[in-house]
Amino acid sequence: MHPILFEIGSIKIYTYGFMIAVGVVFAVAYLVVQGKKEVKLTFDQANNLFLVIFAAAFIGGKVFLFFEDPSRYTHNLKQLFTGSGFVFYGSFLFAVPAMLWFFKRNKLPVYQMLDIMAVVTCLVHMFGRMGCFMAGCCYGKPTAAFFGVTFTNPACQAKPLGTPLYPTQLMEAGFILLVMLTLLWVRARKQFHGQLFLLYLMLYAVGRFVLEYFRGDGSRGFVIENYLSNSQLIALALFGAAVWFYARWKKYHATR
């Protein structure tokens, strides 16, 4: 595909980062509008929240990336911070505690804010996966299916080049779009605050678990080789936790 969007002299603008930036713009717009409407979130609070989330997500994504293949980065930490990408679950697991801390510190209603952030996360993640497609990372296994995509640019990370691969990046982006549309539909019908966030966790966990079987980048790590990846184990844990909290929060709402 096109890992580098364009170059200005020695400056390179990477498509992955550009797509993340596009997602952030849409996400901030949604956060500002919906946050003000639901919880009277100020523009400054929205900006500060994104700074906190960005810092936590960056650190978490890089930490998990390092532990996927420590031998690759131990003697070359620079490579970890120069276009190597992120691990979504690492970013997510670091960002959630940071969000909760911010909500408490600024006396924002936690459960309502989590519902807003579920859609915000979908927006950033969806555009991020499109960036992955352009960069060739998070690529799929070889396939003979008609929708297979062939990567030829030596600068992209997909392997092997010149062979049709499952477009797992676009498959995930499309799935995230469906999840987001589902959340927006449920938003006007939700039974309790926090429902959208928990639905997001459950739906994404299921989709990610299935999608992992089409992924071809084995370096992300396996708990059971070729059967259960690290991401699938995290997906199972998140799904179980989300189901448990969903039942508790729904029951609590029903008794009030």
Residue 238, both tokens: 């998140």
Averages of pLDDT over each 10 residues, the chain, 256 residues: 76 84 94 95 94 90 71 59 66 92 95 96 94 91 95 88 96 98 96 96 96 85 79 93 94 70
pLDDT for 177 equals 98
pLDDT for 73 equals 60
pLDDT for 171 equals 97
As a whole number of angstroms, the distance between CA 117 and CA 195 comes to 12
Residue 186, both tokens: 């449920």
Distances (CA, A) of 224 to 43, 142, 190, 205, 232: 46, 21, 38, 18, 10
65: closest CA among 82, 45, 49?
82
Backbone angles phi, psi at 198, to 5 degrees: -70, -35
| H helix or E strand, kind and range, residue 11 | strand 11-14
Long-range contacts for 22-27 (Cβ within 8 Å, ≥24 apart)? 22/127, 23/123, 23/124, 23/125, 23/126, 23/127, 23/128, 24/50, 24/124, 26/123, 26/127, 27/120, 27/121, 27/123, 27/124
Backbone angles phi, psi at 6, to 5 degrees: -165, 165
The model's pTM is 0.87
Reported as half-sphere exposure (CB side, CA atoms, 13 A), residue 110 has a value of 10
Q: Map tokens 């989330």 to a residue.
A: 53
User: Which 3 state secondary structure label does DSSP give 247?
Assistant: helix
